[in-house]
Amino acid sequence: MQKVFEELTTAFRKNNGLLDKEQYKQLVTKHTTLLEDSDTIFILLQASGYPIAQENDNEYRLETCFTAHYEQRYCVIDIETNGSKPGSSQVIEIGALMIQNGEVIDRFETFVECAFLPEYITKITGIEPEDLKGAPTRKEALIGLRHFMGDAVFVAHNANFDYGFLNASFERFGLGNIGNLQLCTIELAKRTFESERYGLAYLIDFLEIETATHHRAFSDAVCAAKVMEKSLETLPGYVSTSDELLRFSKSSKKERRLKKEEG
């Protein structure tokens, strides 16, 4: 499904956020099986968190292209793991908060059952093996996170790690791919304010963010949300929709200069 997400997003952006039924069908049927027609894939896309909607019988839309960035729901996530590779490691803690209109509207926090916790992970996070005993299983925790995320934009500091690790975990337990569009607060911060470094620990001090505990999932998710909040305060005027925000977060200096000149 990852290929479907990428190709659909590119096509939507080329067509001002809209695709007619034929355009949509041509794109998704390249990736179908005998058991999956374009209507079935539409259901799977929505279930995965991809923000697609059917405008009418003949048109589809990418919701982020029509949602003001401040009205968008953002799921800011951080995970703690017992290693760096999803193939041989697992999530041990998930922390997430849902933000809309600059307010926290919901939160999700859980330990995850784990039989093996290296001592060095305990030293970094403060999480003890006893904390994980009796916690939800990996599949239970991931299903809970899937329901919590909905079709919100997936936000994390160094998002490629959290997104990639969780996506591999979803696949491992037969839960499909994560289809939520992705925003990295490191990338966004680099384009909105100057700092010597952009690691979360450094930005916590630099931005004077109050935090309970660094290297704990929910606390770090809160800090990432604060970094995003700081970045949103200094967005250029041409960024109005959430899709424009996502594209801005990956834009080059040349692209930003041209946009500024156009404005």
Return the CATH number of the domain spanning residue range 2-65: 1.10.10
What are phi and psi for residue 256, nearest 5 degrees? Answer: -70, -40
Report the alpha-carbon distance of residue 112 to residue 155 in Å, rounded.
21
pLDDT band, residue 14 (cuts 50/70/90): very high
pTM here is 0.95
Taking CA atoms, 191 is separated from 156, 185, 210, 236, in Å, by 16, 10, 23, 10
Dmax (CA) for the chain in angstroms is 58
As given in the structure block, the two tokens for residue 158 are 């160094």
pLDDT of residue 242: 98
Give the β-pairing of 74-81 and 153-156: parallel
How many other β-carbons are positioned within 10 Å of the β-carbon of residue 97? Answer: 22
Candidate from 55-59, 155-159, 198-202, 217-221 with smallest mean pLDDT: 55-59
Beta carbons within 8 Å of 52's beta carbon, 6+ residues apart: 8, 42, 45, 46, 60, 61, 62, 63
- Residue 33 pLDDT > 80: no
Report the alpha-carbon distance of residue 171 to residue 37 in Å, rounded.
21
Residue intervals in the chain for CATH 1.10.10? 2-65
pLDDT band, residue 262 (cuts 50/70/90): confident
Superfamily of domain 74-238: Ribonuclease H-like superfamily/Ribonuclease H (3.30.420.10)
- Residue 55 pLDDT > 90: no
Residue intervals in the chain for CATH 3.30.420.10? 74-238
CA 94 centroid distance within chain? 13
